[in-house]
Amino acid sequence: MDGCYFCIMAIIATSVAIFLIRLLHVLYLTGKSRRLKSPQPLSTLIVLGSGGHTAEMMNLLSVLQMDRFTPRFYIAAATDNMSLQKARVFEDSLLHKKVIKGSSAQFMQIYRSREVGQSYVTSVWTTLLATTHALWLMVKIRPQVVLCNGPGTCIPLCVIAFLFKVIGIRWSSIFYVESIARVKRLSLSGLLLYKLCIADQFFVQWPQLQRKYPRAHYVGCLM
C-alpha cells in the first residue's frame, strides 16, 4: 500500500513539475516579440464590447489586411446585440468594397460573468457558466490570433487561450490594445492581462501609459 502511495505521489509531483516548466517556458516566449510568419491565413477571434470598445475595434480592423486574418470569429456578450450588428455591417462593407473575395466571418455570443447590478452571490454561478461557455467556444474555434481591446468578456477567453498554449493544444497569439480613453491608468481587463503576462503584444495609445507600464508598446494612436 505504501509503495502505491509513493508511486502516486511521485507521478503527481512529476506532472506538477512538468506543468510548471512548461508554464515558465510559455511565459518566457509570451514576453518576446513574435511575428506571425505563417503564409497561410490565420483564424482570428475578435472580442467585441459595448460602448466605445466595438467602434474602436472596427477602426483597428479597417487598417488590417483582412485576407490575412480569416476566418474571423466575432464574439460579444449575450446581451450585446448592437456590437454584433456593427460587426455584420463592417463585414458587409468589406464585401461591397471588394476588400475580401467572400465572407468567412462568424458571429457568436458568450455569457457574461456578471451583469451590472448583479449580486456577488449569484455571480459565482454565472461566472462558472460563463467560463464553461468560453471553454466550449475556444475548443470549437481554436484561433491562431486573438484581438481584444478591453471588454471584460475577453478575460476568460484570453486565459483559456493561454492555458491552451501551456498544455499544447494551440498557440494563440494574443494582441491586446488598450482603449484610447485610458490615458493615465489601464482598464481592469488590461491590468489583469498585463500583470498575468498573458498577452503576447500589449499596446497602449498614450506615451505616459507606456512609461507607467514598461512592458506595453506605444506606437501612437491605433484607433
> Which H, E and C letters describe the chain, residue by residue?
CHHHHHHHHHHHHHHHHHHHHHHHHHHHHHCCCCCCCCCCCCCEEEECCCCHHHHHHHHHHCCCCHHHCCCEEEEEECCCHHHHHHHHHHHHHHHHCCCCCCCCEEEEEECCCCCCCCCHHHHHHHHHHHHHHHHHHHHHHCCCEEEECCCCCHHHHHHHHHHHHHHCCCCCEEEEECCCCCCCCCCHHHHHHHHCCCCCEEEECCHHHHHHCCCCEECCCCC
Answer whether residue 201 shows pLDDT above 90: yes
Answer whether residue 108 shows pLDDT above 70: yes
- Which of 57-71, 82-96, 103-117, 158-172 is predicted least confidently? 103-117
Answer whether residue 70 shows pLDDT above 70: yes
* Residue 115 vs residue 48, higher pLDDT: 48
Q: What share of the chain in percent tops pLDDT 90?
A: 49
Q: CB-based contacts of 167: which residues, under 8 Å, 6+ apart?
A: 22
Count of other CB atoms within 10 angstroms of residue 124? 12
CA distances from 111 to 69, 125, 170 (A): 25, 11, 23
Mean pLDDT of 15-28: 77
In the numeric block, which cell numbers belong to residue 174? 494574443
Contact between 26 and 166 (Cβ < 8 Å):
yes
* Predicted pLDDT at 115: 64
The amino acid at residue 136 is W
* Predicted pLDDT at 31: 64
Rounded Cα distance between 112 and 170, Å, is 24
| Tens-place pLDDT, residues 81-100 | 899 999 999 999 988 887 77
pLDDT mean across residues, the chain:
85
β-strands 217-218, 145-148 pairing: unpaired
β-strands 44-47, 145-148 pairing: parallel
Mean pLDDT of 73-81: 91
Grid look-up 446585440 returns 81
N-term to C-term CA, the chain: 64
* Predicted pLDDT at 141: 93
CA distances from 84 to 109, 110, 144 (A): 8, 12, 21
Please give the model's pTM, rounded to 2 decimal places: 0.86
Mean pLDDT of 46-68: 89
* Residue 213 vs residue 121, higher pLDDT: 213
* Predicted pLDDT at 162: 93
Rounded Cα distance between 212 and 184, Å, is 8
